[in-house]
Amino acid sequence: MPEAASIDAVDRAIIDSLQGGFPLCERPYAEVAGPLGISEDQLLERLQAMLDARVLTRFGPMFQVERMGGAFVLAAMRVPEADWQRVLEVVNAFPQVAHNYRRESDRNCDFNMWFVLATETADGIAAAVRSIEEASGLPVFPFPKLQEYFVEMKLAVRT
Amino acid sequence: MSGAPARSVDAIDRRLILATQSGLPLVARPYQQLAEQVGIAPQEVMARLARMLDSGVIRRIGAVPNHYAIGYTANGMSVWDVPDERIDELGARIGALDFVTHCYHRPRKLPEWPYNLFAMVHGTSRAEVQAKVAEIAALLGAACRAYDVLFSTSILKKTGLRIAG
């Protein structure tokens, strides 16, 4: 498993304060930096450093593709170990694949590649599934959400 | 500018989305930079972002931490086979647990995949995640016919949504 990155108390405070509600004003970084006790320049430098170090995967607006008429669907594949690298390259090459995680279970579940398909139109999902199946030669199992019971990151920084 | 219906993304909004989908500019006046890129006034950039926040096209403007980097080095997708007629009641209870970040009813794919309830559990170790999963199992009791926990072992790609330019 990857190690947690080394970040300091100021970085942690920045991450916690930037979970949402980023100001819409002329100098938003200055507004956020003030209560943190750092300067606008320091905030910008630290944000850039955390993005470079991949402590942050992104900073900016988070779009909900469903509200634009698009779709966001979890899908999985059962990829034989010997074929892993080839299939990974095939799947990741699709721009519709927004996230992709390798997963394993103690019970040897063979659904080992899990990705999220994001498309601008709802029918783009079925087309993407077909294209990935054709390109990889393996079945793709889409798991569209039928009901959402809770979706909000509610994690505090733990390092 | 509030109360805009969902899906009302016009050509200028689309240019703004394209300009920000890899992130907000890390400069003192990010909205001014976007305004220059898109060819509208900075006030209009802010007004359009506010409208997209109101309508839900933008969920939030903020930082997306890498779970591993902020200490959540173990992340388990717990999957459960529960009776369809009770799934909404059980899903609501599981989703309300403070260690569950996402909880969904998703379709089974029989015979390969019997599970219909997905709950994402984050922790600082696999043992911590397993202990939380055991709490879910106890809560479900006899309603749980089978379950599994899939741990992520690596992030293979994480780019977020990309719309074509």
A55 part of contact set with chain B, CB < 8 Å: yes
Helices and strands of chain A, counted as H and E runs: 5, 6
Nearest CA-CA distance, residue B67 and chain A, Å: 8
Domain annotation covers residue B31: yes
CA-based nearest residue in chain B for residue A21:
B61
Round to whole Å and give the CA distance between B26 and A45. Answer: 9
CB contact at 8 A, A67 and B53: no
Q: What integer pLDDT is reported at residue B25 of this predicted model?
A: 97
Q: Do B62 and A152 touch (CB under 8 A)?
A: no
Q: Residue B39 has what DSSP assignment?
A: T
Residues of B in contact with A49 (CB under 8 A): none
Segments in chain B below pLDDT 70: 1-8, 160-165
B86 part of contact set with chain A, CB < 8 Å: no
Cα within 13 Å of Cα(A107), Cβ side? 9
Round to whole Å and give the CA distance between A147 and A126. Answer: 19
Q: Do B63 and A15 touch (CB under 8 A)?
A: yes
Domain annotation covers residue A58: no
pLDDT tens track for A44-71: 999 999 999 989 988 999 888 778 778 8
Round to whole Å and give the CA distance between B57 and A144. Answer: 19
Selected residues 59-78 of chain B with any CB under 8 Å from a CB in chain A: 59-74, 77
ipTM of the complex: 0.72
Round to whole Å and give the CA distance between B110 and B107. Answer: 9
Residues of B in contact with A73 (CB under 8 A): none
Q: Do A22 and B50 touch (CB under 8 A)?
A: no
Domain annotation covers residue B27: yes
Which structural domain range is residue B20 located in?
Answer: 11-55
pLDDT tens track for A120-141: 888 899 999 999 999 999 999 9
**B15 and B51 within one domain:** yes
Instruction: Give the CATH number, domain containing residue B78.
Output: 3.30.70.3460
CB contact at 8 A, B124 and A158: yes
pLDDT tens track for B59-73: 899 998 887 777 777
Instruction: Average the pLDDT over A90-107 and give the result.
Output: 93
Domain annotation covers residue B45: yes
Instruction: Give the CATH number, domain containing residue B23.
Output: 1.10.10
- Of A159, A37, A117, A102, the C-alpha closest to B65 is A159
Q: Which two tokens stand for residue B64?
A: 């997306």
Domain annotation covers residue A95: yes
**Helices marked H in chain A:** 9-17, 28-36, 40-52, 84-92, 124-136
**Helices marked H in A37-123:** 40-52, 84-92
Nearest CA-CA distance, residue A12 and chain B, Å: 8
CA angle B135, A143, B59 (to 5 degrees): 80
Classified as helix, coil or strand, A79 is coil
Round to whole Å and give the CA distance between B52 and B15. Answer: 13
A2 — pLDDT class (breaks 50, 70, 90) = very low
B125 part of contact set with chain A, CB < 8 Å: no
Of A14, A48, A100, the CB nearest to B156: A100
**A114 and A136 within one domain:** yes
Angle between helices B30-38 and A28-36 (to 10 degrees): 160
In chain A, what percentage of residues exceed pLDDT 70? 91
Round to whole Å and give the CA distance between B34 and B30. Answer: 6
Domain annotation covers residue A151: no
**B147 and B87 within one domain:** yes
CB contact at 8 A, B76 and A128: no
Domains contained in chain A, number? 2
Which structural domain range is residue A86 located in?
Answer: 65-143
Residues of B in contact with A87 (CB under 8 A): none
